């Protein structure tokens, strides 16, 4: 497979030269990481789900100072949480013994720490002013006026799907391309409605289904860590591959030393964890995941209210050098992780793509 022959309509639309998209990992991706990937010919991404409108603006401007190439801005568009004081109190009482291990008290109450951009006119106005080349959505779709406003500003739109039904919703909404997120992917599952059964399709099966049954370009995401994985999904009809875990070990990411150490551990194993944030997310198996599996555990609070408790417990443990409660998000192929600068990784991936087809 010759990298010079990898141009697709989607790459042309995105203004990139190689079929590599760095996943928008909120809290881990940085302007430096996004710029490095974009400068190397791929599409760098910023995860904006955990920041304010002005924080997002600052990240966009910082990235733009580092690259003149296109980059992606990712928004969380989940259904806003429903507060339930009784359910939240039960969850805090369940976690209280864990806080006590570190001489800490659980919060008196929990907050909805992240605002959804599903109907956020302030975020829309900022993005129309700043005009990043690409905006992507996770957990669902924004209101139609958000889609129209971004399109009118000349912005290319992507959205994550974990099933054919979600992909068809994306197509009907007028989005430009689908990120097919397989069950292997690290971080939060992009399911639109976590109350509904999750078929848990793997990346390869999902890509093929979406290529066959939708009319939009498909971007493969989940378990892709090297050029052989990229070549595989391109052969199945994807027009690009999105990699997240592969970039966590890059020096440009915001991952701390503990995060880098755990993904470099050859014995690392991942699992889907709901107890950290209130939504299923794939990460390194830990004590908080174990608590979430216990048969006696009470119902989880809504996302992201549950995350307020998870972050507080992690902070209490981290203050004493314990990382057993950390949200160390990672995909199933984490054992293929390589620590190298982002631009070097992109170049390495493309050499491997070429080798895979030789």
What is the residue extent of each domain of the chain? 3-79+115-253+337-356
The answer as to CATH 3.20.20.70 being correct for domain 3-79+115-253+337-356 is: yes
218 and 211 Cβ atoms separated by less than 8 Å: yes
- Tell me what percent of the residues of the chain surpass a pLDDT of 90: 97
As a whole number of angstroms, the distance between CA 100 and CA 251 comes to 35
**pLDDT value, residue 1:** 52
Residue 284 has pLDDT above 60, yes or no: yes
**pLDDT value, residue 357:** 76
Strand order across the 187-188 sheet = 187-188, 281-284, 270-273
**pLDDT value, residue 231:** 97
Q: What are phi and psi of 334, to 5 degrees?
A: -60, -30
Residue 5: band (very low, low, confident or very high) from pLDDT cuts 50, 70, 90: low
Does an H or E element contain 92, and which?
Answer: helix 85-100
Encode pLDDT of 112-166 as tens digits.
999 999 999 999 999 999 999 999 999 999 999 999 999 999 999 999 999 999 9
Encode pLDDT of 335-358 as tens digits.
999 999 999 999 999 999 999 976
Residue written as token pair 């789900």: 49
Residue 173 has pLDDT above 90, yes or no: yes
| CA neighbor of 273 nearest in space, from 298, 255, 296, 291 | 291
Residue 6: band (very low, low, confident or very high) from pLDDT cuts 50, 70, 90: confident
Encode pLDDT of 181-208 as tens digits.
999 999 999 999 999 999 999 999 999 9
Encode pLDDT of 8-39 as tens digits.
999 999 999 999 999 999 999 999 999 999 99
Token digits of residue 214: 């939708």
Query: Mean pLDDT of all residues in the chain?
Result: 97
Residue 4: band (very low, low, confident or very high) from pLDDT cuts 50, 70, 90: very low
**pLDDT value, residue 102:** 98
Q: Is the pTM of this model over 0.85?
A: yes
Residue 292 has pLDDT above 50, yes or no: yes
For residue 137, give every residue at least 6 positions away whose Cβ sits within 8 Å of its Cβ, in sequence order, or none. 74, 75, 77, 117, 157, 158, 159, 160, 175
Which whole number is the average pLDDT over 250-256? 98
Task: Decide the pairing of beta strands 270-273 and 281-284.
Answer: antiparallel
**pLDDT value, residue 7:** 80
Encode pLDDT of 38-52 as tens digits.
999 999 999 999 999
Residue 305 has pLDDT above 70, yes or no: yes
Q: Where does 163-286 show beta strands of DSSP type E?
A: 177-181, 187-188, 218-221, 240-243, 270-273, 281-284
| CA neighbor of 16 nearest in space, from 35, 42, 40, 46 | 42
């Amino acid at each position: 497979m010759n990298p010079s022959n990898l141009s697709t309509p989607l790459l042309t639309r995105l203004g990139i030269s190689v079929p590599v998209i760095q996943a928008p990992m909120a809290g881990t991706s940085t302007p430096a990481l996004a710029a490095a990937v974009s400068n190397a010919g791929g599409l760098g991404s910023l995860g904006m789900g955990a920041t304010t409108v002005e924080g997002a603006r600052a990240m966009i401007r910082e990235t733009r100072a580092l690259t003149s190439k296109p980059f992606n801005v990712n928004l969380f568009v989940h259904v806003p949480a429903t507060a339930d004081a009784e359910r939240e109190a039960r969850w805090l009482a369940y976690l209280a013994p864990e806080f006590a291990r570190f001489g800490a008290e659980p919060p008196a109450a929990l907050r909805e720490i992240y605002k959804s951009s599903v109907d956020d006119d302030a975020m829309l106005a900022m993005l129309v002013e700043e005009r990043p080349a690409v905006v992507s959505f996770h957990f669902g779709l924004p209101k139609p006026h958000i889609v129209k406003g971004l399109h009118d500003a000349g912005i290319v739109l992507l959205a994550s799907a974990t099933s054919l039904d979600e992909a068809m919703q994306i197509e009907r909404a007028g989005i430009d391309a689908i990120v097919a997120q397989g069950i292997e992917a690290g971080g939060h599952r992009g399911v639109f409605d976590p109350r509904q059964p999750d078929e848990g399709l793997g990346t390869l099966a999902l890509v093929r289904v979406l290529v066959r049954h939708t009319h939009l370009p498909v971007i493969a995401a989940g378990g892709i860590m090297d050029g052989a994985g990229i070549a595989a999904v391109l052969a199945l009809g994807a027009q690009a591959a999105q990699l997240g875990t592969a970039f966590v070990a890059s020096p440009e990411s915001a991952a701390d030393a503990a995060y880098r150490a755990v993904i470099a551990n050859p014995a690392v194993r991942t699992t889907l964890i709901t107890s950290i944030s209130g939504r299923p997310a794939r990460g390194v198996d830990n004590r908080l995941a174990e608590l979430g599996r216990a048969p006696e555990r009470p119902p989880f609070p809504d996302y992201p209210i549950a995350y307020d408790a998870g972050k507080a417990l992690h902070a209490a443990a981290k203050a004493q050098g314990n990382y057993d409660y950390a949200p160390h998000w990672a995909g199933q192929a984490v054992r293929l992780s390589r620590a190298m600068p982002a631009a070097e990784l992109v170049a390495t991936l493309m050499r491997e793509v070429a080798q895979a087809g030789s």
